[in-house]
Amino acid sequence: MPSNDMLEDILTEVSPLLGQGKVANYIPALAKVSANKLGIAVCTVDGELSYAGDALEPFSIQSISKVFSLTLAMNRVGDDLWTRVGKEPSGQSFNSLSQLEYEHGIPRNPFINAGALVVNDILQSRLSAPKQQSLALVRQLSGNKRIMADKWVARSEYEHTHSARNAAMAYLMKSFANFNNEVDQVLQSYYLQCAFMMSCVDLAKAFVYLANRGRPLFGDKPILSPKQTKRLNALLATSGLYDAAGDFAYRVGMPGKSGVGGGIIAIIPGELSVCVWSPALNEAGNSLVGTAMLETFTTKLGRSIF
């Protein structure tokens, strides 16, 4: 188990990188977040917790929420899910329309925006109250019943022009009969999930199930089977960092998922989950200092999946 002192050393080592990268200013609510925030938290499968920096401060989890949505869909639909979304890296921008057109409305994977929208379309059909049930899941997994969505962030995304591109993807998939619900309804649910406010500590605890064969930190009932957990971790390793997944695997060596709020979660199966947060992003849209933190973490720990 990494100590608090080790995590503090990591923050000290990467702090000279602060000031590089850019906060996600295309979402007005996120543009107001300080670029100097820096946090890390680690939780083992036995529930041991260590953290440093701004690890207790909630932030907008953004696309990290796609893992929670996919978990719900895998739980409800099983392997039928993969008739509507692929399992391959995209090699393109996370919001590419041309790839979606070329591949007849079937998104490459569930972590690009089109794939996440299909997953949310499935949840809209399968769940009685998708927004409430998604929030209940993250509260259960993290053990924090106070987690909420920041409605200002959700509205900021919904009203911004970036939303039009997501709507275009949904309508394009609808033209290929791969989208069943009202586009606006699904988009609102999707943006609300992206606006969940969680800390590094919340997220490190919440993702223990991916390090523990589908068993969450809180509660005795598995959230996924061991086979599903293995497959989800594989998808994170190949597609969780978009078209920078290869560089992330090379530098960090863990399955991971990023969000434009500056958070990244990562997993060492059988051992631990870790979350880092630093809002300034690199050119690929992933946390610049967060990636460096995780690279330093696996180097100091001497552990990765490789």
Residues 41, 199: contact at Cβ < 8 Å? yes
Residues 268, 304: contact at Cβ < 8 Å? yes
Sequence-ordered list of residues with C-beta below 8 angstroms from that of 238, at least 6 positions apart, any chain: 88, 89, 109, 245
DSSP 75-130: HHHGGGGGGTS--S---S-TT-SHHHHHTTT--S-TTSHHHHHHHHHHHHHH-SSH
Residue 42 has pLDDT above 90, yes or no: yes
Tell me which residues are annotated as active site: 63, 66, 190, 242, 260
Query: Per DSSP, what are the bridge partners of residue 59?
Result: 198
Residue 5 has pLDDT above 90, yes or no: yes
- Angle 275-280-281 from CA coordinates, rounded to 5°: 85
Task: Summarize pLDDT for 176-202 with one digit per residue, the tens.
Answer: 999 999 999 999 999 999 999 999 999
Task: Summarize pLDDT for 247-278 with one digit per residue, the tens.
Answer: 999 999 999 999 999 999 999 999 999 999 99
Say what the pTM is. Answer: 0.96
Report d(CA 220, CA 215) in Å as an integer. Answer: 7
- How buried is residue 193: exposed, middle or buried, by Cβ count under 10 Å (0-12/13-18/19+)? buried
Task: Determine which helix (DSSP H) or strand (DSSP E) holds 72, and give its type and residue range.
Answer: helix 65-77
